Amino acid sequence: MATKLPIGGGKSPYAAFSRQSSAGTLNRSLDVSPCSSNTILAQSVTFDLNPNATTFIPSRFVEHGYFPPPAYTPEAWLHILDSGMLASNPSLPPLLVQFGPWSSEKLRDLAQLFCWEILAKANIVDFGPEAALFARDVRDNFKIHHSEWVSSCFVAHLQKAVLEHFNSFWCSLDNPDVISQRKKLETKRWNVALEISCFIADLFSFSLIDASIMHECLGILLYEMVSVQHVRVVQSMVKRAGPTLWQTADSHERRQEFIRHFMDRTSKLPDNSSLTGREKIIRKAIEADDIIALINGWHARRSEYRSPAVKSIWGSSGLNM
């Protein structure tokens, strides 16, 4: 097996490309406060908000969560995200972004708070695409009421945060706690891992993360695949991300390569490969969500492009995939 190298720069065992997303690499320094706004947004709300409130940590979140909240977490932010990430409410994004000025540090904490809500509540509620839709609306309101840089800075921090959390569950590089065959997977932890993975796919569907991050996540799952849980999260991410990933100019090669690796990896899994002991056998799990047929259908409806020559992104030479 090839030597494992860090993700995000140079060569990776998961993908034969360098990820060039904007995550963590902005045109302006993230250490500089981008703007100051005195804009007052007239909003009607059903609860009092204090932007200077101290950190609010509900005990039910701590009980079910695996990660602490960001150091700077005003109660007002939590109230807004509590509602906005579960149901669409157009009054909440402009209400949230009025708590400026927004420094890079505050934008980083807000991005982490989006992830923390997913991690903390995964065993309490089922998140749908509304969580990513809310993040998109927050991004758009940052652009409207502050600046393009504030908006892009928030997105960059969000991209970095979700990938870090994804890697903490699925990537074995220097990670003793990765989901693997070494120990039984607790149902609570599985729910959290699945929810953060689906959140990434939803963010892609709303154009908040780049295709390269989706490629990297799917590449990690294909490389690390040892269980029916890995199969399920690949299937869920493909379905939640939607057709866009398979309708680009290079999608013909991407599709063929992904299907080849997916079929190869799943064919090597034994039927008793569940890490929780509660899942369907592997063949039934694959048949239940026929993502290959779904991908082929999406690809067939793509615009006509001239297919360029592309390098592998689902695996690289020297890998036992």
**Which tens digit of pLDDT belongs to each residue from 197-209?**
999 999 999 999 9
**Which tens digit of pLDDT belongs to each residue from 177-194?**
899 998 889 999 999 999
The rounded distance, in Å, linking the Cα atoms of 2 and 299 is: 32
**Which tens digit of pLDDT belongs to each residue from 200-253?**
999 999 999 999 999 999 999 999 999 999 999 999 999 999 999 998 887 788
pLDDT at residue 70, rounded to an integer: 66
Domain ranges of the chain: 1-20+213-321, 22-209
> Tokens 């490389």 — which residue?
223
The rounded distance, in Å, linking the Cα atoms of 291 and 294 is: 5
| Percentage, residues of the chain above pLDDT 90 | 50
CB-CB neighbours of 169 under 10 Å: 22
Instruction: Count the alpha carbons within 13 Å of 214 in the hemisphere toward its beta carbon.
Output: 29
Identify the band that residue 34 occupies on the pLDDT scale cut at 50, 70 and 90. very low
What 8-state DSSP symbol labels residue 209? Answer: S
CB-CB neighbours of 268 under 10 Å: 11
Residue 84 clears pLDDT 80, i.e. is over it: yes
The rounded distance, in Å, linking the Cα atoms of 177 and 182 is: 9
23 contacts: CB under 8 Å, gap ≥ 6? 156, 159, 160, 163, 209, 210, 213
Beta bridge partners, 55, equal 74
End-to-end CA distance of the chain: 9
**Which tens digit of pLDDT belongs to each residue from 46-78?**
334 444 444 444 443 433 444 566 666 888 998
The rounded distance, in Å, linking the Cα atoms of 101 and 145 is: 11
> Tokens 């991050």 — which residue?
213
